[in-house]
Amino acid sequence: MPEHGELAWIFNCVARLGWLDRMTQFKEKSGKHKERASVGLYTYPVLMAADILVYKATHVPVGEDQKQHLELARDIAQKFNNDFGVPDFFPQPEPVIVGAATRVMSLRDGTKKMSKSDDSDMSRINLTDDAETIANKIKRAKTDPHPLPGSKDALKDRPEAENLLNIYAALADQDRDAVIAQFAGQQFSGFKTELADLTVAKLAPLAAEMRRLLADPAEIDRILKDGASRARAIAVPVMDEVKKQVGFIS
């Protein structure tokens, strides 16, 4: 999908350094040595804006941690529209944040986001994990020595407890307060067993489909080709109009 990269470069000429300097995820990933980080990492939020706006998306399902990127996409869309005198060309995309686990945290550190790039495989649940591996990761997840809290106010300064309760609520499709009431005062050992069983049950169909697809690369290629074809039918006309507006083509 070359349109993503093409629009990202144009957006790089519209976005402002001050906007990107405020992106918290770059600060988290680059750490104390941001001068060693790549330009691609720094401008990645601009590429995300292009991913969204090349389809003129109006609503984007995201986690809580991606809300800032949607705000950047809105800023870029508005500035592009203003700079080139096309007030209604790009929409102002809205984040759609739903469910109890809007930000799933690491199983080893409740203050860090669960991530596939974490050094520890025990910090996350992979869709390719089998039932035994999932159960083992849940049961070995970091907790504190106190029983499960009886109210959401009691979750303060207990990030690991909050994370596991959020995950349970999301998988069970329940309100978090209801889950807190259900397990209030119980020990983590029993709760983790129930969470492990629930996680395995919910992820089993996804894991089975992942294994099926990984065993059939030709099917993956077919799906990607079909998706790219349908996506380009939307993106190409948008990019043609963008190129006209910025003067690349007449």
Active site residues: 29, 113, 116
For residues 147 and 185, is the Cβ–Cβ distance under 8 A? yes
Whole-angstrom Cα distance, residue 26 to residue 36?
12
Task: Please choose, from the candidates 43, 60, 139, the residue with its C-alpha nearest in 3D space to the C-alpha of residue 97.
Answer: 60
Q: Which value, in Å, is the radius of gyration of the alpha carbons in the chain?
A: 22
Exposed (0-12), middle (13-18) or buried (19+): which is 246, by Cβ within 10 Å? middle
Neighbours of 12 (CB within 10 A): 16
CA torsion angle for 70, 72, 75, 77 (degrees, to 10)?
-60
SS (H, E, C) 98-149: CCCCCCCECCCCCCCECCCCCCCHHHCCCCCCCHHHHHHHHHCCCCCCCCCC
The phi and psi torsions of 106 (rounded to 5 degrees) equal: -60, 145
User: Taking every pair of C-alpha atoms in the chain, what is the biggest distance, in angstroms?
Assistant: 69
Whole-angstrom Cα distance, residue 223 to residue 242?
28
What secondary structure letter does DSSP report for 90? S
